[in-house]
Structure 1
């Protein structure tokens, strides 16, 4: 299947097309979209706007409108998740990385649709966003087993009603998520949602907040979740259990 592969935000990315591969110049705005978010919000770039704020060279009221909007959205998600998702690190540094990749993916999807490109799957670091279908069939996607990255934990279909899959875990990056509940022992959380921002934010929030946050996320947002606990047991929402035969 035709696939455009590129690097962005320190990870691998690809766009798989059900039809022909578009000309490279058509996909350039998509890559530039990711570059723009990275240049503004990466704490690994000393010249980024967020790095200027982190070292005190710029104050939040004087930041760009897009930056202030992103921060406001992150604060809104903090309220919605009972502080399980937060733009503030324990060392008090402002960090929007929990939101930036998903927002960049949503913006890239808008660029693809503006170019009248449909029936594709965007993959950025294992997080997926789809449009349309694959030659009349749903896009078939997978969640990797955290105990063996060569194996799959499960596979399922994404269709037009559910467009996004995001995974947050400790296998590859260690304990990079600030646990808001001492009782949270999840090692990997995958969320299927109607949009990539909701999927990505809630995957992080559930990893940080544990079973309580999982239950509240399912109730409030209607998402589907598969989580792997410290002992290797699988916690799955009802629809996922029915689809994949996981034990309750």
Structure 2
């Protein structure tokens, strides 16, 4: 998917068991991302997604997963009033705006099936967590939450904010996604003409798909989509304007 995926696992078990658990977790997460990349990457000529773009395959005859993610993206397009879309300006299908979040969601299910409860998954700056960064056997009733950093789009060596993630954190947000043009250039199709109001948008939500989709939608739709997203989905948002101005919902204003 053209990005780096990292996994942090907190464990209070014996050293060798912890190593074995970590290797199993890395293997299962790596396999999920690899298989989805083989299907959905537009950088692979032989992928199903590339065949769809070239017209060698129609959606009606595509894989079940391709159809499912297209249907999910279409629902988000309606819900965001067109701010999020799976169609590029030239009409080609591009599900890259949702497939990474889907991969992270699937990875979370697999990590749970392995019995891992305390972990942090980072895929290209999008973060999904479970439990806390402390060992599972600490005995604390209220463990510390994970803390994610948000990079300054004007200086990639600095952070402009942090946000606490996890069931024990205020608001119970477990996912944080960031979208914008600061790192990858202008790759998001805005609603209407002209450039987006925002250089970068970060969204904290209770699931990674919602966070990822709305971060992209707000970049594309501007302040109206931001207001609508906060009201409809109850997410927390930190948006960086092109001149450096910040718009922050209470969760980010109160962040450490």
After TM superposition, the score normalised by the length of structure 1 is 0.92
2:166 to 156, 159, 162: 159
1:209 counterpart residue number = 221
1:92 counterpart residue number = 91
* Structure 1 segments unaligned to the other structure (5+ residues): 1-8
Q: What is the RMSD of the two structures over their aligned residues, measured on CA atoms?
A: 1.3
Q: In 2, Cα distance between the equivalents of 1:192 and 1:176?
A: 22
* 1:150-172 Cα deviation digits (max 9, x unpaired): 00001121121210000001111
Q: In 1, Cα distance between the equivalents of 2:116 and 2:223?
A: 39
1:3 counterpart residue number = none
* 1:127-149 Cα deviation digits (max 9, x unpaired): 00000012121101111100001
1:110 counterpart residue number = 109
2:138 counterpart residue number = none
Q: In 2, Cα distance between the equivalents of 1:23 and 1:206?
A: 36
1:81 and 2:80 are equivalent in the alignment: yes
Q: In 2, Cα distance between the equivalents of 1:60 and 1:30?
A: 27
Deviation at 1:215, TM superposition (A): 0.0
After TM superposition, the score normalised by the length of structure 2 is 0.89
Q: In 2, Cα distance between the equivalents of 1:225 and 1:90?
A: 27
Q: In the comparison of the two structures, how many residue pairs are matched?
A: 236
Q: In 2, Cα distance between the equivalents of 1:120 and 1:71?
A: 29
1:31 counterpart residue number = 30
Q: In 1, Cα distance between the equivalents of 2:180 and 2:157?
A: 16
1:140 counterpart residue number = 147
2:2 to 10, 13, 34: 10
- The 1:122–1:68 alpha-carbon spacing in structure 2 relative to 1, beyond 3 Å, is same
Q: In 1, Cα distance between the equivalents of 2:104 and 2:216?
A: 16
Q: Is the 8 A contact 2:9 2:22 kept in 1?
A: no
Q: In 1, Cα distance between the equivalents of 2:217 and 2:94?
A: 15
Q: In 1, Cα distance between the equivalents of 2:30 and 2:252?
A: 33
- The 1:122–1:23 alpha-carbon spacing in structure 2 relative to 1, beyond 3 Å, is closer
1:150 counterpart residue number = 157
Deviation at 1:26, TM superposition (A): 4.4
* Structure 2 segments unaligned to the other structure (5+ residues): 12-17, 135-142
2:207 counterpart residue number = 195
Q: In 2, Cα distance between the equivalents of 1:13 and 1:243?
A: 25
2:184 counterpart residue number = 173
Structure 2 counterpart SS, 1:11: coil
